[in-house]
Structure 1
Amino acid sequence: MKTNKFNIYTGKLRLLIFVSLALYSATLMAQTIDKPLIELLDQRIYEVPEIHWEPTMNQGDIKALFYETLSYKGKPTRAFAYIGIPKSDKPVPAMVLVHGGGGKAFHEWVKIWNDRGYAAISMSLEGHMPDANGKGKFSHDYSGPTRVGRFDDVDLPLDEQWMYHAVSDIMIGHSLIESFPEVDANNIGITGISWGGILSSLVSGLDTRLKCAIPVYGCGYLYESKGHFGKKRNNTLEFIEKKKFWDPSHQFSIGLVPTLWVNGDSDGHFSINITSHSFKTTSNHAYMTIHPSMKHGHPPGWRPEDVPEIYDFADYILKGKELGLGKIVKQPSKREIELVYESDVPILEATVYYLNEKLTYRKSSPKSKHARPGPWLSMPAKVNNSKNEVKAELLKTAVTYYVNLKDSRGRIISSVLVDLTKQ
């Protein structure tokens, strides 16, 4: 009988200890998550990392290297990167280039910026390295974590999550490129494509050293996306809420870095509504360009002939060139479309793109990889350059629209997305 009482007592004691530890762990997690992300990052992100050059992997004048990053589960890690610095008699501005999902360090991307007078660094964020010809993706002995779904490793300790290391690797890469004497450390920007758009927009709210940010496709408010990225799959509501910790809007909403948001109006991953929401949050220091039917991918997101606004914006901010992009200073909001813009370059035309329904994503056929909205319809709007005004009367059938202004160089600036069903 005594034995039974003792067993009951010890069982209750174990249960009490277990509950106490669980509550303590939950309290610690709550305290951690309640802190700003910048306070949770290892401050070595601001230090110049040790470099390991790989000359056999150079691509012409673009140098290959590994740089040391934060340890992962006690293991030393390194990120592979390409760095290119154009020849100049004075320090040049620089860009940090962040690849998308399934991407890698791209020497081709570095060269595009080098040819335009910028230094650039492109790093691999998923523990990969290419071959000697710059092709393929191979693991190496110092690989860190790889991406797990869409923040699906959020239940791991913070310093074991991929986003923690990806953000840190980017900021360490910034610390590296700004350390070169050939680089103007006071004029460095960032651009990223798809997942790189997510990361670059997030980092724009953390890294106050940055002078501009150009996220392409990826942005904030990911959980509001109508596209593939917004699909919740079988996640519980609790798990979905946890993953919102990494939503870029938590960071760029408190940032002040001049930002150009870039997307297409039918992107299968990041729908235009979340690009518009991200722009609204940063509108006092942001611009937006929406390209109709823009394809999703690395080359479409970096080719100067496809997205020249990226390079005009960078030149304006980082090189001080006089003619940048125009800006809509009074946004449309009603069926009677009225907007006011500012532009040093004449606006030649304005086009209203609209849907006769809410922004709704559906697959065009069973074989389609991703859902997209129904085809956008378009109508011209009247431009009054003497008053910097654009006006149009929206058709009665239309309920969703945005407006594009095109200047004499062919550059596009876009209005917010208007959903008349919410009015």
Structure 2
Amino acid sequence: MEKIFTLFLFLPIFALAQKESIWDLEELYKTPKYEETDLVNKKGVKSIFYESIDYKGKPTKVYAYYNIPTTERPENGYPAIVLVHGGGGTAFEDWVKIWNKRGYVAISMDLEGHLPSKNHQDRKNFEGSGPSRHGVFHDNNEALQDQWYYQAVAQVILAHSFLRGLPEVDTNNIGITGVSWGGMLTSSIAGIDDRFKFAIPIYGCGFLNGTDGLMGQHFKNGNQAYRDNLLTNFEAEAFLPKATMPILFINGSNDAHFPIPAMMSSAKAPKSKTYLYVEDGLGHGHPPAWDVEESYRFANAIIHNLPLMDIQKTTWDHSKMDFSAVVKGVRPRKVTAYYTFDKGKWQKRRWNSTPGNIKGTKVNAPIPEEATAAYLIIRDVKGMSLTTEVIFDTSDKQTMK
């Protein structure tokens, strides 16, 4: 039977568009009051509490690490970045230092009302702390403003406003990146806070409803109020179409939580230019995410207005077993094709690789006709890698999930 292949399309699920933000952005865009603290001090970073929004009628504050680079200060100030942790995460001083060494002012905050510690079970609350995350949006019966995701979005936007209030920071060059849950928050906030210069969601994304990942399974709990609350108010599917900054989506080929189809739909949603980087076998966690060099290369390209590869016209001619794309901008140096023969759950698919070819602005690679999904990773002459769109077999309904 003849196979039909097509570019990945949006998942056919769309949240209701919001006319106005459910967050008070006028207040969140103000520089929050903050105080330095001696609690959980770490060498090489500053420890602070900054004020956040009310939780159950009482004012709250957030614990964070931030620091200024020791590199020479640019004429207009340092670029900066907001670092959004994932599940089990906290304020990470090491993450701040990683970006400091690359010339960025950085802030990392605990979004679950804790003081940071290495062991999640040992983390303590403090007077004035906000809510902790309760499962996967399992606090949906609380008032909207008292739900964790609502509070976390506000805390991240306030961290951005804090950075903008520092005299050392170039307010025109502040980005955001997040890991897992932090990637979900980053994807949502990209369509809420348009002051950001760039966004880099790692693993986490939107369009999870109907996907076969662990996050997507929670949409199948039969609770329509839960689904409506999530899709309308929090899921990045509702916000990414409003995003105006360049975005780099980073993911692993077999991520258990955020499968490739959700990332692809997320990347197609914004008004702005988006980029993809899929790494075969990328582990899920904070350290693996921090090790992905493409995030730093992308940030520098946006901040310094450097050219990036523009991957266009991705096609798969299965009759000729030829997968190809046109690359403009920075010249390609190396091409590797990844493909799978498997169907079913994305996290269980095994991927094969084969070298590709470069001829001028066109890159291509031979892909077996029996393959069910494929993409190219293209490394440019400056050392950065980006990924083409995924192309898949439409006879396999699982590829839509």
TM-score by length of 2: 0.87
CA-to-aligned-CA distance 1:287-313 (integer Å, 9 cap, x gap): 11111100010011112xxx1111111
Which structure 2 residues correspond to residues 149-168 of structure 1 after superposition, within 5 A? 149-168=135-154
Check the 8 A contact 2:255/2:284 in 1, yes or no.
yes
Equivalent residue for 1:268? 256
Q: 2: CA distance between counterparts of 1:72 and 1:101?
A: 21
The partner residue of 2:333 within 328, 336, 348 is 348
Which structure 2 residues correspond to residues 81-230 of structure 1 after superposition, within 5 A? 81-87=64-70, 88-89=72-73, 90=75, 91-130=77-116, 137-230=123-216
**Is 1:46 equivalent to 2:32 in the alignment?**
no
Q: Offset at 1:242?
A: 3.2
Q: Offset at 1:149?
A: 1.6
Q: Offset at 1:41?
A: 3.4
Q: 1: CA distance between counterparts of 2:271 and 2:372?
A: 23
The partner residue of 1:378 within 353, 371, 382 is 353
Whose RCO is larger (CA < 8 A, sep 6+)?
2
Which deviates more from structure 2 when the two are superposed, residues 197-206 or residues 331-340?
A: 331-340
Distance 1:271 1:126, change over 3 A: same
Q: Offset at 1:160?
A: 1.0
Q: Offset at 1:55?
A: 3.7
Check the 8 A contact 2:183/2:202 in 1, yes or no.
yes
CA-to-aligned-CA distance 1:9-68 (integer Å, 9 cap, x gap): xxxxxxxxxxxxxxxxxxxxxxxx874462443632111111121145432231001001
Q: 2: CA distance between counterparts of 1:97 and 1:109?
A: 8
Question: Counting helix residues as a fraction of each chain, which structure ranks higher?
Answer: 1
Equivalent residue for 2:367? 394
Equivalent residue for 1:325? 308
Check the 8 A contact 1:82/1:122 in 2, yes or no.
yes
Distance 1:40 1:130, change over 3 A: closer
Which deviates more from structure 2 when the two are superposed, residues 249-258 or residues 350-359?
A: 350-359
Q: 2: CA distance between counterparts of 1:179 and 1:396?
A: 56
Equivalent residue for 2:11? none
Distance 1:376 1:132, change over 3 A: closer
CA-to-aligned-CA distance 1:88-111 (integer Å, 9 cap, x gap): 444101000000011001010000
The partner residue of 2:267 within 279, 289, 294 is 279
Which deviates more from structure 2 when the two are superposed, residues 212-221 or residues 139-148?
A: 139-148
Check the 8 A contact 2:88/2:120 in 1, yes or no.
no
Which deviates more from structure 2 when the two are superposed, residues 288-297 or residues 122-131?
A: 122-131
Gaps in structure 2 of 5+ consecutive residues: 1-15, 397-401
Equivalent residue for 1:311? 296
Check the 8 A contact 1:69/1:76 in 2, yes or no.
yes
Distance 1:227 1:107, change over 3 A: same
Paired amino acid for 1:398? A
Q: 2: CA distance between counterparts of 1:35 and 1:271?
A: 26
TM-score by length of 1: 0.82
Q: Offset at 1:197?
A: 0.3
Q: 1: CA distance between counterparts of 2:132 and 2:20?
A: 20
Secondary structure at 1:223's aligned position in 2?
coil
Q: 2: CA distance between counterparts of 1:163 and 1:396?
A: 44
**Is 1:66 equivalent to 2:53 in the alignment?**
no
Check the 8 A contact 2:192/2:243 in 1, yes or no.
yes
Distance 1:131 1:308, change over 3 A: closer
Gaps in structure 1 of 5+ consecutive residues: 1-32, 362-371
Secondary structure at 1:405's aligned position in 2?
strand
Q: 2: CA distance between counterparts of 1:225 and 1:61?
A: 42
**Is 1:244 equivalent to 2:205 in the alignment?**
no
Which deviates more from structure 2 when the two are superposed, residues 199-208 or residues 408-417?
A: 408-417
Secondary structure at 1:38's aligned position in 2?
coil
Check the 8 A contact 1:359/1:400 in 2, yes or no.
no
CA-to-aligned-CA distance 1:163-218 (integer Å, 9 cap, x gap): 11000000011111110101111110000000000001110111111000000000
Q: Offset at 1:157?
A: 1.7
CA-to-aligned-CA distance 1:92-131 (integer Å, 9 cap, x gap): 0100000001100101000011111110111110001126
Secondary structure at 1:315's aligned position in 2?
helix
Secondary structure at 1:139's aligned position in 2?
coil
Check the 8 A contact 2:40/2:115 in 1, yes or no.
no
Check the 8 A contact 1:190/1:210 in 2, yes or no.
yes
Paired amino acid for 2:391? V
Secondary structure at 1:159's aligned position in 2?
helix
Distance 1:188 1:407, change over 3 A: same
Q: 2: CA distance between counterparts of 1:35 and 1:417?
A: 30
Q: Offset at 1:334?
A: 4.4
Paired amino acid for 2:180? S
Instruction: Report the structure number with the largest CA radius of gyration.
Output: 1
CA-to-aligned-CA distance 1:327-364 (integer Å, 9 cap, x gap): 212222542422111242x4222222112133524xxx
Q: 1: CA distance between counterparts of 2:327 and 2:160?
A: 34
Q: 1: CA distance between counterparts of 2:160 and 2:272?
A: 25
Which deviates more from structure 2 when the two are superposed, residues 37-46 or residues 375-384?
A: 37-46
Paired amino acid for 1:247? E
Q: 1: CA distance between counterparts of 2:288 and 2:274?
A: 22
Check the 8 A contact 2:112/2:133 in 1, yes or no.
yes
Count of residue correspondences:
373
Q: 2: CA distance between counterparts of 1:133 and 1:148?
A: 18
